[in-house]
Chain A
Amino acid sequence: MTAFKKIEDHLRKEAKNLLEGGKVTLVLAYARGFDEKHPVPCVVKAAADADHLVFNEYCTYNMARYLTRYPVGTKIAVAVKGADSRAVVQLIQEGKVRRDDLVILGIPATGMKNQKTGEVIDAKTTASTINPVLYDVLLGDEIHGVKAGSPYDVLAEFEGMDKDARWAFWKKEFERCIRCYACRKACPMCYCDPCFMDASRPRWADKSPTDDGTLMYHLTRFYHLAGRCIDCGECSRACPVDIPLHLFHKKVAKECEAMFGQAAGMNIEDKPAMANFKGEDSDQMLG
């Protein structure tokens, strides 16, 4: 069981020290929202405000999402759970943030809960990545001995469908899409500026919410995240109409891992799978 209170105390203490010592100018973590079950992502800039930080089972946000907002060179401490730390690694690999600019506050956590339903989300998202893959300070103790399956276990049902059934499945899911773009905006790896969906010359997809445009949007996003999705599940949690976007991302991640022998954001020494060429890379995609 994760010692949430202990982690919270440690987080506050660490944030205070880092800000007081001038090691960082801001700390990205969590604060209380309109009630305890609804925390909010927050940035603390003054040591005196460190006591506002919280950590509980509803702090599902991937704070790495906010890193690319700040100019390179900004000294930032960021609180990250298992999958979130993979986003930091991936962002470093992609040259969007610098390792030297960061103090990574790692949080080993199990039992994180969906704010809407109270359901434990571990198996759906981070799965076996319980401990942060990269950190400078560990808040709490590493968790070992938890029986966590493969992150791809949840794909079983989806993979059991034939092509037509999969097509029907996604068409039905996308019917609900309202194009609020919460999925791309919540995603730590979606930092394109402008996003292809916002480009008007040329316009790659209908701006109005047509079925074709919605399909274009999601499929392009799914493939643009190939070898980059770090499996935090923020897209599905952000979706106001509960489209299980993480399933598609997981499927693509699984294929990528099989073809290129690496999962996104697991090792800082890796190069991004899609930006690297190795002699032994799979030729499968060439037929």
Chain B
Amino acid sequence: MKKIAIDQFSELVKVLAERGPLYAPVKGKEGVNFQAIKNPADVTLDFYNTVLSPKSVFFPQSEDMIRYRITHGATEAQPVPQESRPAVILGVRPCDVRSFEIMDRHFLGAGVIDPYWKSKRDNTTVIGFAFDVSAAADPADFYNTFGYGAADPEGSDVFMVRTDKALLLKSMTDRGKKLLDSLGFLQVAGAQDEKVFEETVKKGKAVRTRSAEINPQVIAKKLVSVFDNGEFWQKVTMACIACGACTYGCPTCYCFDISDEMLFKEGSRKRFWDACTFTDFTLEASGHNPRPRIFQRYRQKVCHKYSYHVDKYGCISCVGCGRCTRVCPVNIDIFSIVDEANKL
């Protein structure tokens, strides 16, 4: 294990940012969010969790796949080369780290490998960051439901714990070890630091978020059985205004749309985030929409995450980070809805 004094932190950021793309939390007007770092002084470690999830590092909101030009009736098209430089994402909370594994199942394990996700994921070292284990969890969080603790190092390449004066950095994978070994200016942590690290992980297990007994296999079947209970779905989604805030904030929502957009003779084929709550999400070319009503679309959201995803990939597509509830303009709370459905 390695460590670095808090007042030297900007040194670490500087070196990482010089080596290749570094994504880290930056304070903006809206709160803290992950950004590609240009100025090391921008990075902050003083935040609870980012407003939007870190998924945009591997799955940007908008991404060009092909660029094309139309000349004399012919089209020249070039696939957009994928990023191949090694990158680092620093400061990911433990529950969010788990979201990457869930997204991997979809983008890498569905029989077709998604090259856009893969190139970025393969080249990026994840530095996880423990929540402050002496503070209470945000009331919207419910990551305990999935058995996650506030300082679980699993899933990170390097896991970072903040103490009064230092940051402890422990490598969890070979990739993480390689990164730490390459940073010669880090100090070697002592036995006392190891103890603090272990104690933090343990204390993290005792940080309580909202929690419910939700067994993936059971809830998957349950939701199918209540699918036709229109009264229930209408009641719990009445307030939904059908915006995309929850989806865009979510670390495990992966639906995207594709569109060719061009100006004069040049354009690109892009993929960009889409949301199942949008009116036109399932609008067909004929004009027919199989999910014209808001409750049908929100039901799709819940069932996809807690039922269909379990059937297809063996796990629930939610990590309990609480973002969807926090960013919802009308406080719709997926945790309460699933908990209520579970008890029907």
**Using a CB–CB distance below 8 Å, which chain A residues touch chain B?**
33-35, 38-43, 61, 65, 115, 176, 178-182, 184-186, 193-194, 198, 200, 206-210, 234, 237-238, 240-242
Question: B249 at the A/B interface (Cβ < 8 Å)?
Answer: yes
Report if B119 contacts A (CB, 8 A). Answer: no
Kindly list chain B residues whose C-beta atoms are within 8 Å of the C-beta of A207. Answer: 257, 259, 261, 272
Report whether B331 and A39 are in contact in the complex, using a CB–CB cutoff of 8 Å. Answer: yes
B51 contacts A by Cβ under 8 Å: yes
Closest 5 CB pairs of A and B: A238-B329, A182-B243, A241-B30, A240-B327, A185-B241
Q: Does B140 contact A (CB under 8 A)?
A: yes
Asked if B279 and A198 sit within 8 Å, CB to CB, the answer is yes
Partner of B61, one of A182, A206, A209: A209
State whether A34 touches B61 (Cβ < 8 A): no
Alpha-carbon distance between A208 and B257 when the two chains are bound, in angstroms: 8
Given known contacts A207-B261, A209-B61, A241-B51, A38 and B331 CB-to-CB distance under 8 angstroms? yes
A residues within 8 A CB of B30?
Answer: 176, 240-242
B325 CB-CB contact with A under 8 Å: yes
Interface of B: prevailing SS? loop
Q: B243: which of A41, A43, A185, A194 is its contact (CB, 8 Å)?
A: A185
Decide if the interface of chain A is mainly helix, strand, loop or mixed.
Answer: loop
Could you list 16 further interchain pairs (A-B, Cβ under 8 angstroms) beyond the known A34-B335, A185-B329? A34-B333, A40-B330, A176-B28, A180-B245, A182-B241, A182-B244, A185-B241, A198-B279, A206-B261, A210-B261, A238-B241, A240-B30, A240-B51, A241-B52, A242-B30, A242-B31
A-B contact count (CB 8 A): 102
What is the minimal beta-carbon distance from A171 to any residue of chain B, in angstroms?
14
Question: Within the assembled complex, what's the spacing in Å between the Cα atoms of A179 and B280?
Answer: 14
B61 lies within 8 A of A180 (CB): no
Instruction: Establish whether residues B259 and A33, one from each chain, have CB atoms under 8 Å apart when the complex forms.
Output: no
Decide if B89 is an interface residue (CB 8 Å cutoff): no
Query: In the assembly, what is the distance between CA of A185 and CA of B51, in Å?
Result: 20
Number of B residues, CB within 8 Å of A: 39
Residues of B within 8 A of A208 (CB): 62, 257, 259, 261, 270, 272
Name B139's closest neighbour in chain A (CB-CB).
A35
- Asked if B92 lies at the interface with its beta carbon under 8 angstroms from chain A, I say no
Q: Are A180 and B244 in contact (CB under 8 A)?
A: yes
Listed in ascending order, the chain B residues whose CB lies under 8 Å from chain A are 28-31, 51-52, 61-62, 139-140, 210, 238-239, 241-245, 247-249, 257, 259, 261, 270, 272, 275, 278-280, 325, 327, 329-333, 335-336
The one of B241, B280, B333 that contacts A194, using a Cβ cutoff of 8 Å: B280
Candidates A34, A38, A186; contact of B241 at CB < 8 Å: A186
> Are A40 and B239 in contact, with the CB atoms below 8 A?
yes
- Distance A181 CA – B274 CA, assembled complex (angstroms): 11
Contact B243–A42 (Cβ < 8 Å): no
- Which B-chain residue is minimally distant from A244 (CB atoms)? B29
With the chains together, A198 CA to B327 CA distance in Å? 22
The answer for the CA separation of A137 and B248 in the assembled complex, in Å, is 40
Closest CB in chain B relative to A210 CB, distance in Å? 7
Is the beta-carbon distance between A41 and B238 smaller than 8 angstroms? Answer: yes
Q: Is the CB of A34 within 8 A of B248?
A: no
A180 vs chain B, min Cβ distance (A): 4
Give chain A residues whose Cβ lies under 8 Å from the Cβ of B244: 179-182
Report whether B325 and A34 are in contact in the complex, using a CB–CB cutoff of 8 Å. yes
Cα–Cα, bound, A206→B270 (Å): 11
- Name the contact of B333 in the complex, choosing from A33, A178, A210 (C-beta under 8 A): A33
- Chain B residues closer than 8 Å to A176, beta-carbon distance: 28-30
Would A182 and B331 count as touching, CB distance under 8 A?
no
Which residues of chain B come closer than 8 Å to A209, judged between CB atoms?
61-62, 272
State how many angstroms separate the Cβ of B331 from the closest Cβ of chain A. Answer: 4
B191 to A: closest C-beta gap in Å: 43
Q: Which residue of A lies closest to B325 (CB)?
A: A34
A86–B263 alpha-carbon span in the complex (Å):
42
Q: Assuming A40-B239, A208-B272, A210-B261, is B331 touching A178 (CB within 8 A)? A: no
